[in-house]
């Protein structure tokens, strides 16, 4: 079955708010955790990744937090914009296989 999953299938926010998308994973041996964004009609697009020996990594308007104690990963998007509306997937890199994706959270941003 799935080893990576997201807590909520949908998230609705107002433009300008901060968004937090959560993900739980089960494989402690994964060495990287990654967030992808999939816009309607397109393939997934890389957002940010974090190595398993880190607990926080920041990008442009995005921050990924990793809590290995409770096997939890989150993506924070600052000042959410309508263009951020998409499906967000977390994924884990399992050595010897490939990226294993969760089921996704649909983020809807209203203005």
Report if residue 34 touches another protein, rule: CB under 8 A: yes
**What is the Cα–Cα distance from 36 to 87, expressed in whole angstroms?**
8
Which of 13-21, 36-44, 61-69, 74-82 is the region at the interface with another protein (rule: CB under 8 A)?
Answer: 36-44
* Placement of tokens 């607990």 in the chain: 55
Among 72, 92, 73, 82, CA closest to 63? 73
**CB-CB contact of 105 with 10 (8 Å):** yes
**Strand 62-67's sheet: what is its strand order?**
4-6, 19-25, 72-77, 62-67, 56-58
- Least Å distance, CB 33 to another protein, is 10
The site string for another protein over 85-104 (x = CB under 8 A, - otherwise) reads ----x-x-x-xxxxxxxxxx
Binding mask 41-80 toward another protein (x if CB under 8 A, else -) reads xxxxxx--x-------------------------------
- List interacting residues with another protein (CB under 8 A): 2, 31-32, 34, 41-46, 49, 89, 91, 93, 95-104
């Amino acid at each position: 079955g799935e080893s990576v999953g997201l807590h909520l299938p949908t998230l609705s926010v107002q433009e300008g708010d901060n968004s937090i998308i959560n993900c739980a994973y089960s494989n402690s041996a994964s060495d990287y955790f990654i967030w992808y964004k999939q816009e309607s009609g397109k393939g997934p697009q890389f957002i940010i990744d974090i190595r398993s020996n880190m607990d926080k990594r920041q990008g442009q308007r995005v921050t990924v937090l990793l809590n290995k104690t409770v096997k939890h990963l989150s993506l924070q998007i600052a000042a959410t914009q309508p263009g951020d509306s998409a499906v967000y997937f977390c994924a884990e890199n399992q050595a010897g296989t490939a990226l294993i994706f969760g089921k996704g959270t649909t983020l809807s941003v209203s203005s």
